[in-house]
Amino acid sequence: MDIDLITNILYAMVRTGTPLLLVALGELVCEKSGVLNLGQEGMLLMGAVVGFVAALLSGSLMLGFLLAIIAGVTMSLLFGVIALGFNANQVATGLALTIFGTGLSAFIGTEFVGKPINGLDPYALPLLSDIPLIGKMLFAQDLVVYLSFGLFAAVYWFFRSSRPGLVVKAVGENPHAANAIGLPVMRTRYLAVMFGGAMAGLAGGYLSIAYTPLWVENMSAGRGWIALALVVFASWKVERVLLGAWLFGLASILHLVFQGLGFSISSNLLAILPYAATILVLVLLSRNQVRARLLAPMSLGKSFHASS
């Protein structure tokens, strides 16, 4: 492979991994607070359809992204009210949210299937984009990719160096102890859930407004589920989420790479690589359940009753 081909593969890897990175960052914050939200796929699809319809009808991509984020937050609040407010089972609530979001997004987008829009153009940073190999990969992307870099850095700093980050981790480890010392457990969890919804909505908007750009039913293609597995793959460590998202992004485009190189391998077989990798990661991690329990937030998926 020549250097131009490698450069283009790395460029596509980052673009493909961006929605995974956004959803995984949101879910990481959510799970760090002790809340397991399996509704990422539904929130992502709602962000995609609302963002696309808004951008198509208004002609404003920025309005599309804004409404995609709002759609994601709204869906996350629905989860929050049921799972946190009424102490419903978080796993069941998240699954219901995914089913609801998948069906509602298909209903909303029925009249908009296949209608293209002018997507988000890349913006090459002067000089930096000319660096061999990594220049185009990191410095010739669109604004949402640059934003994902900033969000990754912000979440990393948040948990490593800020007091609110310590509060989130304390709530996720032992909400009863956190409540006893006066920390706002429910408010922290609601805000974490809303952040997760905002990131899922933004990722959906990126898919339909910038990456494709068009609306197709179920266009997320399981990215919400892959992002959930990615958080486990990263062992709830922010720095590993970025690497994992790009690796899964690379796995998602390998079928195109091999086809371009002329390999006679079934495209359908290669297209399952990211999902096969997800299953493999989960199987390998489940072999050491003691280690997984030590790495995961202690109260993950457990309801909290302020009176108890």
> Residue 56: what residue type?
L
Residue 132: asked if its preceding bond is cis (omega within 30°), the reply is no
User: Which of 144, 125, 148 has its CA nearest to residue 62?
Assistant: 144
- Exposed e or buried b per residue across 149-170, where buried means at least 16 C-beta atoms within 10 angstroms of its C-beta: eebbeebbebbeeeeebebbbb
Q: How many domains does the chain have?
A: 1
Answer whether residue 300 is part of any domain.
no
Answer whether residue 1 is part of any domain.
no
CATH number (domain holding residue 212): 1.10.3470.10
Answer whether residue 29 is part of any domain.
yes
Whole-number Å distance between alpha carbons of 190 and 6? 43
Whole-number Å distance between alpha carbons of 120 and 97? 29
Q: State what percent of residues in the chain have pLDDT above 90.
A: 71
Answer whether residue 44 is part of any domain.
yes
- Helix, strand or coil for residue 215? strand
Per-residue pLDDT of the chain (308 residues; tens, 9 = 90+): 578 888 989 999 999 999 999 999 999 999 999 999 999 999 999 999 999 999 999 999 999 999 999 999 999 999 999 999 999 999 999 999 999 999 999 999 999 998 989 989 999 999 999 998 899 999 999 999 999 999 999 999 999 999 999 999 999 999 999 999 999 999 999 999 999 999 999 999 999 999 999 999 999 988 999 999 899 888 899 999 999 899 888 888 877 777 767 676 666 676 777 777 777 776 766 666 655 566 789 999 998 876 54
Answer whether residue 143 is part of any domain.
yes
Answer whether residue 59 is part of any domain.
yes
Residue 81 DSSP label: I
State the residue for tokens 């319809």: 53
Q: Which domain holds residue 214?
A: 13-295
Residue 279 burial (10 A CB sphere; 0-12, 13-18, 19+): exposed
User: Which of 27, 64, 93 has its CA nearest to residue 229?
Assistant: 27
